[in-house]
Structure 1
Amino acid sequence: MIFNLNRFSFFGTLLFLFAYQSAVSQTVAGKVVQEKTSKPVAFANIKLIGQAYRRTSFGVSANEKGEFFLAMKTFPVELEVTAVGYISKKVKIDKPTTNLIIELQPEAIKLEDFVVSAEKVTQEELKSPIQIEKLDISDIKNTASFNFYDAVINLKGVDVATQSIIINSVNARGFNSTTNLRFKQFTDGMDTQAPGLGFSLSNIVGPNSLDVELLELIPGPTTSKYGPGAFNGVLLMTTKNPFDYQGLSFTVKGATIASEEFDTRFFTIGNEFIHDISVRYAKAINDKVAFKINGSRLGGVDFVADNYDNIGPGDSFERTHSLRNQGINGVNVYGDDRAATMVLPRSFNGIDFDSALPIPSERDTVYQVTRQGYEEGQLVDYGVENLKFNGALHVKLSPKTELVAASYYGRASAMITGDDRIALRDFAIYQHKLEVTNEKFNIRAYTTGQNSGDSYNVGKLGESIVEAAKPNEDWFNQYFLLNRAGRGITVSRRTADTAFPRGTFLNRFEAGTPEFDSLRLVIINSQDPDFGAKIFDHSKLYHFESSAKISVGKDYFQDFEMGINARLYDPESNGTIFTDSIGNDVTNFEAGLFVEATRVINDQLEATISGRIDKNENFNVVSTQRLSLVKEIKPNTFFRGSIQTGLRIPNVREQFFNQNIGDLVLVGGLEPVVDQYDLQGNAFLISALDEFNNTVQDISNDDTRFGSGPLNINAIRLENLDILERGIIRDDKFRGIKPERITSLELGYRALVEDKRLFEVIYYINHYRNFIGTTRVVKPRTSPSIDLQLALEQANNPGSSTRFFVSDNAESAIITQGLELVYDVTSDQGTNFAINMTFANILQQNDDPLTPGFNTPPFKLNMTLGNDKMSERLGAQISWRFRSAFEWESSFADGTVPGFNTLDFQFTYSLPKIKSKVRFGGNNVLNNQQFNSFGSPEITSYYYLSFTYGQR
């Protein structure tokens, strides 16, 4: 690999030197001014038009002085010049010139006229065969969200799982997750996923708000174009070209956030502070070479995850162990997850066993017992930071061919939710890219790496602190024996939490004590798989791709594009996460090929077909296809339909997982990875064990059936052993994980009515197969095939059994559907009103516990109202969102996410003399308590003030 990388670097160096010395191009340069007054028209758009550019967008923007520059290859050419508030103009250029003056006539505007602006919807967008949601420069600058990335939540059909101020997992069309494996994200063509995680960590390594030119979100399966994993959609971020956007710009933003007790009053200033500083500088050295550099830092106090509701037996409001409930399991409490199922003395009418010690009665009962864990706030601090640097060198090899060398670096400290809660501490991602791009072809190579820094697993930390005082096996045995001896629940728990017997164990560590703090530091800095919580992950990926638009004759296809790609994953965890132990290096290679063609059948009907094949070294060749038709019903009114297939190849974690996270082991789905644990015939499905325990508990506690007479627990168990026998892992189980599959049918209607209002209706139905989830099993020390009853006793004791979560495929199919509605209107004066609604549900559900949760509100509603020209200097935007309640299911926790609505606003005041803007805004200003994924932090209200200089 080192040799190959050296060759790649040498080739890149030669290519760069060649670019730098390339020949001088023919140029067109000039200035755009206002007719009669000759006043410069700042930031006018100059675009090449004509048949050769019918399906492309090639042009530049003038600077603040109205000056522009274009490098041309051939003449004559025709330019179209547009600017807000001016009538567009077409200019024909026969030869190179450097002093061209283009005059634009101001446009008379009537206040009552409303039209959809060209920037919001073009003719090409109206008849696009796929749905594309866009946020352009204007949207980004005027969003009411705290940052531009958060603004995607206002797009139709989008779901967001908020884990931190800086980390939002974006998804579309169902099966949302905090580890969004089915949704891909790209920055200038680079997949931004962390190689060892298999998903993008929001925008911690991406561009800052000053460098973003365009965000495009494509919902639904897009595998045929963007590769395996583009299952639920993709988010494309395009940054500004330094040739087109030059100069210095910076933003300073401060925000207050409420991190303590939630205040229900409107407009409550928080008790904590966040700062966000961004800077961008770009310059064209000459007409061939330009560069840009960007940097930003966000720091402060993050959202807090303080949901201590009980998800164990009993009521959710129960927070502490009591005579009534010994099985408390808090959502954001760690170390209390494993429950032991015991036969304990039945309580005597609620008598406190401290003051009255009963003897075991003839009527024993079944209890679930957990240890006392630690709240998340006792284990972590909620400091948040995101530091980013990136830069790019652009070299024009010819007027239409550009070489780009770019590097990105991002470092973050924040909390995220995966299979457990994870504290990212100085977690870093870096990306390096070399690319040659042309309107006819593209060649791109890049590498992505990650460094886990001082990150640690919070769940494992809590579990290790609990067991450091007394191992589970000893604690539960003491608790059980003391109860059977008649000591009672309270005394038994209190004694088990002490160092008894002296010299062997330690007292329970109390949060905040020096002993607790010292032990915590030892654990979060240890990589011992049985004790330490520190995460070591230095995984990398290497990627190459190339695509070309080929002319095959207009009698066949108007557009024909094909491309290839190859990727190598190199997981590196020293055996702490993957199976990459010493002497067992792990890599994973995959490659693919795609073809896409468009044919105009007649003046009203256009068809697009695409196909793709992919090969991963651990799976057979797989293929995906898409066929779409677009028909123009009448001018500016289009109907489209498409049928497409998509797939997701298991990522490196789902293939090679081998991680001990305290109370369980995460195992990848490849057959050699699972086989090392010998689960077939030797383990139970946890769902079967839970069903058995619940059945026995319900029967034994049924006073109407047994009254106050004697009860034989063993007889009840024997009567229900068939439940356990059905849950023993079959010999044909875990014989190799398979790729996920989706088939999607989508119908859409899009109309621009009377050049004033945009309407859109979309219906889709998705059929999923081979869903990847986790099969949850428990393996006792004794095989159930040898002694079923002894295996049962051990499986119910956390000290004598181990839980495994194995990546696996669901055996049943599932069908979902959705309906999306859009109404959007924008005035020439800058007033915009937009509303979109989404309905989504499951048509055919299965009872397979492995199927991931749909995790999507049945109904979503977004409304925005804004005007960036309320006066000469003042602009404003208000956004309101509603989400209905829904059920959340994940490997971390299951529960209900209540419905909520939230209101955001922003006011912008321009200072044109110093090229600056001041913004004041607030998010969740109604102070509605909310969280959008179960077990993640509560999203509080916060208010911000920013100053921006030089942003274009």
Structure 2
Amino acid sequence: MLLIQYMKLSLCFATLVCVLFCGTLCAQVTLKGKILDGTNGDELIGASVLAKGTTTGTVTDIDGSWELTVTGLPTILQFSYIGYSPMEVEVTSLDQDLNIRLGDNAITTDVIEVKGQRISDKQRQAALTVETLDAIAIKETPAANFYDGLGSLKDVDLTAASLGFKIVNTRGFNSTNPVRSLQIIDGVDNQSPGLNFSLGNFLGASELDVNRVNLVVGASSAFYGPNAFNGVIAIETKDPFLQKGLSAQIKVAERNLIEGGFRWADALKNKDGNEWFAYKLNAFGFRADDWVADNYDQVFDTEVPATNPGGFDAVNRYGDEASSSTDFGFLRTRPGLGHIFRGGFNEIDLVDYDSQNLKFGAAFHFRLQPEKTLESTELLLTSNYSTGTTVYQGDNRFSLRDIQFFQHRVELRKRDNFFLRAYVTHEDAGNSYDPYFTAIKLQEAAKSDGAWAGDYSAYWQSVVTPQIRNLEGWPSCFPGDCTLAEQDALQRDFLAMPQNAVLLQEFHNDARQAASLERGINSQDEFVVGTDRFNRAFDSITSTLANEGGTRFFDRSALYHLHGEKKFDNVWTPNEDSRLEVTVGANGRLFTPDSRGTLLLDTMGRNIDTWEVGAYGGGTLHLNNRYKVSASLRADKNQNFNLLFSPAASFVFTPNPSTTARVSFSSAIRNPTLNDQYLFYNVGRAILLGNIDGVSGLTTVESVRDFSNSGNSDDLVFFDVDPIQPEQVRTLEVGYRSTVFEKLYLDATYYYSFYQDFIGFNLGVDLGFVNSQITSAQAYRVAANATDRVTTQGFSLGANYYFARYFSLNGNYSWNTLNTATDDPIIPAFNTPEHKYNVGLSGRDVPFSLLGDAVSEFGFSIAYKWVDGFIFEGSPQFTGFIESYGLLDAQVNFEIPKINTVIKIGASNILDNQVFQVYGGPQIGRLAYLSATYNWKRK
């Protein structure tokens, strides 16, 4: 309230100043207009307008409009936009038409993918593949929101683990914990401090405040730092100095989805009429019934089929996993018992599917030299808060419930010159828990696996076996008139008879029911979903910390970051068409994990705070406006690892304004995450173990199986795991971009990547012995590096064709493959379709007169995406084959000028194909939506 009152007083003061100094201000003139593409009439966002010979200037708004106050007429205005010929116009009258069309040699841009030159200097220096979704494309994407719209871009894999958790990956090694991609918002790392990766847009920006999203594809550590490994998702929000006013949106959709948000931005002027302070306030809310993970097929590549009468291990049923204590094999004394499985619990009974997300943000911008407008040094203070409930999939499926994130930033910057940025991110896991382990705990609370198997077996021997032996057709030669081999064969054949198979299933159902009841000490009836007794046990387990007997996480980790960068233009100018630009920078970061031992090894006073620092420098030499040579080098040092270097170099040839050819070498490093270093987490069948110090004395899983069959200890194979090391990648890339016949835009890229010390995991067993007899066995999954070099390669092609002034036909194709075939036990988890493509048709600002002046024009887009089938490798529970699928999205939007509102109607997956995008996740169906977005621009 104090801030709002201050703003009101400041506005009143500014108005009073205007009145008192009317004699000065009346000599000023306010000019207005638009800047358009000279070829197709598209509005250009962010184009520059400058009063020649002064520092007075502005940039265009989302619709290409601009407004500038000058000291008087006549004056000369300079109009410019990257990739277009600049223009100077002398303004002599207020009635002069100032709708400017910049040069006809402009590079054609796409509605959905903004190519070529609409990228930042840093990205152009990297000479990598860059895909962009700008404000216009966000409005016109047929996806339900801007983040989903990234999935239509070339080289992008977008997967949904739930409605609230979407993951963007590029160039392979797609994962539901995307540690090889970096997501930043206005230069601030959006990662979770404890998990060390971004949770998609769950913690991100409100769509109303997103100006554009630049997706840098490929290794790019040189300027972005560690973890910019396979790509960078750089989200840029709107500047309150440049984009003022009120925006509000409401959206309703299937699955009871409702979301809404608002953005308010304004600026205050000083006594000289210069804007010195601007602020923006954002709020966003979302809730929906999440997609349900209900895949009850048997876990991929397991030996026991779904037809087994004693049960099987289902994908989204937890607690029914295989166990040696429940495998009775073939017993003559218990015919038909075989391998039995506990009933487990379905995920739908353990997970909160009421997906919610709330985000609030505030930013305050101060111009320290207001008279210089855009050239002024600025001080920025920002704060963001987000909270919500969703389902996250990693090694298990996790219910993130009431999770909270706090992010605060202070930054001093001068556009395209320097910045000094400091920020901190805090998180609180809230009431988040592990449903998989919750199922196991619920079963253990009723009866141990051993006791349950014993009760099941006892019932079978006392009740079922006599009934089986009395069935008609039971082999008459039993017990002594035939050999054991003959008995085995006859018994198997008898049980396999169709009528007996049905009876066998009934017998198992009866035995399962008997084993579920209380019997003996430390035993009680199983918990029945939906009962008060179940709910009390469930609440108790999920509210108790994991290291205290429950399944709830504790995570109040934090990340502190400091980053500075300086650019030097025209360091060397051999001639008027050539120049050398240099950029240098450095950063430092501190992680302060706090999981109280529920996730990490931060118990008994152990301090696992971790710091890392880095420095970089690079230059770009522009030669005769046709050649550009860039080189850079970055050095990074993590507290626990050696100093590493990330070099990069590129050559770009521009024979004419519409064609670019490029070749580049880039590199990146990925420091092991906190989980890779310090994880200690029991997921039931194994303990997931970080590996900062190395692990010794493990036994291979295969040799333990051999030993169990042979009893020969010589079959056991022991091994050690070296301490984890950073992962490194080197990439060679060539590309070509061109506009053909003024209407067809082409963009082609080929890359080849080399991975060293690829981070994955080893599986092993720690055995306990007494007198050469195994007395205990604990399975571990240990973070480890591959010993072999891993290589990948890929190719992508994008094309956009513009016709009939309003329409665009676009498409792209990507091919990615893992070359490496090795016996290395490290599982690479490439998780990427070899082939995928997108095709689409869109129309923008199409004239529409059926409703008179109410709606003067409309836009539409329709897009089809096809993804090739592939193996998705997650944890053993969540590894399996993703079938090929196709998705059709469509939307139509139209503006109602009288109320400044855009109506958008559309649907993603309009044909309602039920598809898995990640194994173990839900089937994703149609999501039809209707939204209304109000925009009032404050001048």
TM-score, normalised to structure 2, is: 0.82
1:535 is paired with a residue whose SS is coil
Q: CA deviation at 1:472?
A: 2.8
Query: What RMSD over aligned residues (CA atoms) do the two structures have, in Å?
Result: 3.7
Q: Does the 8 A contact of 2:905 with 2:929 survive in 1?
A: yes
Q: Choose from 502, 506, 516 the match for 1:497.
A: 516
Q: Does the 8 A contact of 1:821 with 1:837 survive in 2?
A: yes
Evaluate the alpha carbon distance shift between residue 584 and residue 600 of structure 1 in structure 2; reply closer, same or farther with a 3 A threshold: same
Q: Choose from 912, 917, 921 the match for 1:927.
A: 912
Structure 1 match to 2:502: none
Q: Does the 8 A contact of 1:34 with 1:103 survive in 2?
A: no
1:803 is paired with a residue whose SS is strand
Structure 1 match to 2:616: 594
Q: Does the 8 A contact of 2:110 with 2:800 survive in 1?
A: no
Give the whole-Å Cα distance in 2 for the aligned partners of 1:43 and 1:604: 24
Evaluate the alpha carbon distance shift between residue 660 and residue 529 of structure 1 in structure 2; reply closer, same or farther with a 3 A threshold: farther
1:512-531 equivalences in 2 (<5 Å):
512-529=530-547, 531=549
Q: Does the 8 A contact of 2:85 with 2:102 survive in 1?
A: no
Q: Choose from 654, 667, 672 the match for 1:632.
A: 654
Task: Judge which range, 608-617 or 890-899, deviates more.
Answer: 890-899
Evaluate the alpha carbon distance shift between residue 105 and residue 47 of structure 1 in structure 2; reply closer, same or farther with a 3 A threshold: closer
Structure 1 match to 2:199: 201
Task: Give a deviation string over 1:810-868, Cα, whole Å, max 9, x none.
Answer: 22221111010110123584322210000111222223332231100111111121112
Task: Give a deviation string over 1:190-214, Cα, whole Å, max 9, x none.
Answer: 0000100111111122221111111
Amino acid at match of 2:397: R
Gaps of 5+ in 2: 1-13, 15-20, 36-41, 270-274, 466-506, 848-855
Give the whole-Å Cα distance in 1 for the aligned partners of 2:454 and 2:833: 44
1:849-928 equivalences in 2 (<5 Å):
849-871=825-847, 872-891=856-875, 892-928=877-913
Give the whole-Å Cα distance in 2 for the aligned partners of 1:565 and 1:913: 49
Q: CA deviation at 1:685?
A: 2.8
Task: Give a deviation string over 1:224-258, Cα, whole Å, max 9, x none.
Answer: 1111111110000001101111111100110013x
The alignment status of 1:216 with 2:204, answered yes or no, reads: no
Aligned length: 834
1:24-63 equivalences in 2 (<5 Å):
30-33=30-33, 47-48=48-49, 59-61=58-60
Give the whole-Å Cα distance in 2 for the aligned partners of 1:912 and 1:150: 27
Structure 1 match to 2:187: 189
Give the whole-Å Cα distance in 2 for the aligned partners of 1:376 and 1:293: 38
Give the whole-Å Cα distance in 1 for the aligned partners of 2:180 and 2:815: 20
1:573-652 equivalences in 2 (<5 Å):
573-601=595-623, 604-652=626-674
Task: Judge which range, 765-774 or 187-196, deviates more.
Answer: 765-774
The alignment status of 1:359 with 2:333, answered yes or no, reads: yes
Structure 2 match to 1:318: 306
Q: CA deviation at 1:479?
A: 5.2
Q: CA deviation at 1:917?
A: 1.2
1:433-512 equivalences in 2 (<5 Å):
433-438=409-414, 439-476=416-453, 490=508, 493-501=512-520, 503-512=521-530
Q: CA deviation at 1:930?
A: 0.3
Evaluate the alpha carbon distance shift between residue 820 and residue 313 of structure 1 in structure 2; reply closer, same or farther with a 3 A threshold: closer
2:285 is paired with a residue whose SS is strand
Evaluate the alpha carbon distance shift between residue 820 and residue 687 of structure 1 in structure 2; reply closer, same or farther with a 3 A threshold: farther
Structure 1 match to 2:296: 308
Structure 2 match to 1:299: 287
Q: Choose from 236, 251, 260 the match for 1:277.
A: 260
Q: CA deviation at 1:500?
A: 1.9
Give the whole-Å Cα distance in 1 for the aligned partners of 2:898 and 2:61: 19
Give the whole-Å Cα distance in 1 for the aligned partners of 2:639 and 2:210: 36
Amino acid at match of 2:911: L
Structure 2 match to 1:685: 700
Q: CA deviation at 1:773?
A: 1.6
1:751-900 equivalences in 2 (<5 Å):
751-780=738-767, 782-783=768-769, 790-791=773-774, 801-827=777-803, 829-871=805-847, 872-891=856-875, 892-900=877-885
1:680 is paired with a residue whose SS is strand
Give the whole-Å Cα distance in 2 for the aligned partners of 1:313 and 1:62: 55
Task: Give a deviation string over 1:140-180, Cα, whole Å, max 9, x none.
Answer: 11111101111000001111220121211110000000000
Q: Choose from 334, 340, 350 the match for 2:324.
A: 340
Q: Does the 8 A contact of 2:56 with 2:70 survive in 1?
A: no
Amino acid at match of 2:696: Q
Task: Give a deviation string over 1:36-57, Cα, whole Å, max 9, x none.
Answer: xxxxx9998651589999xx99
Amino acid at match of 1:908: N
Give the whole-Å Cα distance in 2 for the aligned partners of 1:745 and 1:209: 35
Amino acid at match of 2:607: D
Task: Judge which range, 743-752 or 521-530, deviates more.
Answer: 521-530
Give the whole-Å Cα distance in 1 for the aligned partners of 2:34 and 2:57: 23
Evaluate the alpha carbon distance shift between residue 542 and residue 647 of structure 1 in structure 2; reply closer, same or farther with a 3 A threshold: same
Evaluate the alpha carbon distance shift between residue 951 and residue 750 of structure 1 in structure 2; reply closer, same or farther with a 3 A threshold: farther
Evaluate the alpha carbon distance shift between residue 665 and residue 508 of structure 1 in structure 2; reply closer, same or farther with a 3 A threshold: same
Evaluate the alpha carbon distance shift between residue 866 and residue 480 of structure 1 in structure 2; reply closer, same or farther with a 3 A threshold: same
Evaluate the alpha carbon distance shift between residue 345 and residue 523 of structure 1 in structure 2; reply closer, same or farther with a 3 A threshold: closer
Q: Does the 8 A contact of 1:576 with 1:659 survive in 2?
A: yes
Evaluate the alpha carbon distance shift between residue 505 and residue 921 of structure 1 in structure 2; reply closer, same or farther with a 3 A threshold: same
Amino acid at match of 2:292: V
Give the whole-Å Cα distance in 1 for the aligned partners of 2:912 and 2:202: 27
Q: CA deviation at 1:587?
A: 0.5
Structure 2 match to 1:739: 726
Q: Does the 8 A contact of 1:557 with 1:597 survive in 2?
A: no
Structure 2 match to 1:406: 382
Q: Does the 8 A contact of 2:50 with 2:58 survive in 1?
A: no
Amino acid at match of 1:276: E
Structure 2 match to 1:427: 403
Task: Give a deviation string over 1:4-57, Cα, whole Å, max 9, x none.
Answer: xxxxxxxxxxxxxxxx9xxx9x9997322489xxxxx9998651589999xx99
Evaluate the alpha carbon distance shift between residue 751 and residue 316 of structure 1 in structure 2; reply closer, same or farther with a 3 A threshold: farther
Task: Give a deviation string over 1:89-125, Cα, whole Å, max 9, x none.
Answer: 52369xxx9x977623687999xx9954799445576
Q: Does the 8 A contact of 2:51 with 2:57 survive in 1?
A: no
1:944 is paired with a residue whose SS is strand
Q: CA deviation at 1:88?
A: 8.4
Amino acid at match of 1:907: V
Gaps of 5+ in 1: 1-19, 36-40, 258-272, 348-357, 697-715, 795-799
Task: Give a deviation string over 1:43-80, Cα, whole Å, max 9, x none.
Answer: 98651589999xx99841269896624799xx998520
Structure 2 match to 1:104: 98
Give the whole-Å Cα distance in 2 for the aligned partners of 1:47 and 1:878: 32
Structure 1 match to 2:352: 381
Give the whole-Å Cα distance in 2 for the aligned partners of 1:127 and 1:188: 18
Q: Does the 8 A contact of 1:392 with 1:406 survive in 2?
A: yes
Amino acid at match of 2:886: N
Give the whole-Å Cα distance in 2 for the aligned partners of 1:89 and 1:565: 39
Percent sequence identity over aligned pairs: 29
Q: CA deviation at 1:684?
A: 2.4
1:890 is paired with a residue whose SS is coil
Q: Does the 8 A contact of 2:352 with 2:401 survive in 1?
A: no
Q: CA deviation at 1:661?
A: 3.4
Give the whole-Å Cα distance in 2 for the aligned partners of 1:253 and 1:443: 38
The alignment status of 1:670 with 2:692, answered yes or no, reads: yes
Evaluate the alpha carbon distance shift between residue 114 and residue 641 of structure 1 in structure 2; reply closer, same or farther with a 3 A threshold: closer
Evaluate the alpha carbon distance shift between residue 313 and residue 862 of structure 1 in structure 2; reply closer, same or farther with a 3 A threshold: closer
